[in-house]
Amino acid sequence: MKDSAKISPSVIRRLPRYYRFLRDLENEGISRISSKALSEKMGVTASQIRQDLNCFGGFGQQGYGYNISDLKSEIAGILGIGHTCKIILIGAGNLGRAVATHMPFEALGFELAAIFDAASLFSGLKIKDLPIRSMDNLNDFCRLHKPQAAILCVPDDSAKELVTRLSSLGIHSFWNFTHYDISKDHPDAIVENVHLSDSLMTLSYQMKCSL
């Protein structure tokens, strides 16, 4: 395997999609696939696939295709899937509950370790066998369990203060569903933003252009 630092960011951005298709193929009991067959399945050109997967060298043999399990493990290694990372969820509203119930955390290398919400309304409720905890318990929990990442499903106006608090508790990686710009105040934080309203505006733009 090439040093992952040498793989271009655009290839890295495409890896999760390769991983997903390879996992599905493996689940179907398929062990090898040609770049042509994979390209038809994924709707990209075979040459793009060869170029992308070339980075990992040696997996695609002329005439034999790719060994699905090896290639999937290789990509999993690069993406960091495999070490388990403890992540906590803050905010158990509809969005937080959707994230907690829908995301295949374990398959993606995360352990959802706890769920917190500011509203006492939820106390006593459970999501996926995890109790919804009070924010009063956040500091104790973090000191004891040392989660490395947090999912932010809180209202925008409480995000800034929350990130400061989480940083002081040793959490510097965020899956951020709010509009708060974490990187601006915390330039060293690792941040992956999900901006759903930007995505909906992009749809609106594409629809308008097609009129």
Residues in touch with its own copies (CB under 8 A): 4-5, 12-13, 15-17, 19-20, 42-43, 78-81, 83, 85, 93-95, 97-99, 101-105, 108-110, 148-149, 173, 175, 179, 181, 183-184, 190, 192, 194-210
For the beta carbon of residue 46, count every other beta carbon within 10 angstroms.
15
> Which residue shows structure tokens 């959802």?
112
* Minimum distance of its own copies from residue 103's CB (angstroms): 6
Answer whether 84's CB lies under 8 Å from 149's CB: no
* Minimum distance of its own copies from residue 184's CB (angstroms): 4
* Minimum distance of its own copies from residue 76's CB (angstroms): 9
Residue in 119, 125, 130 with CA at minimum distance from that of residue 91: 119
Residue in 176, 148, 208, 192 with CA at minimum distance from that of residue 16: 192
User: Smaller CB distance to its own copies: residue 144 or 203?
Assistant: 203
Q: Residue 110 gets which letter from DSSP?
A: E
User: Smaller CB distance to its own copies: residue 64 or 205?
Assistant: 205
* Minimum distance of its own copies from residue 32's CB (angstroms): 22
CA distance 75 to 71: 6
User: Smaller CB distance to its own copies: residue 140 or 198?
Assistant: 198
Answer whether 149's CB lies under 8 Å from 171's CB: yes
User: Smaller CB distance to its own copies: residue 81 or 162?
Assistant: 81
Residue in 139, 140, 163 with CA at minimum distance from that of residue 151: 163
* Minimum distance of its own copies from residue 29's CB (angstroms): 17
User: Smaller CB distance to its own copies: residue 135 or 191?
Assistant: 191
Residue type, 193: N
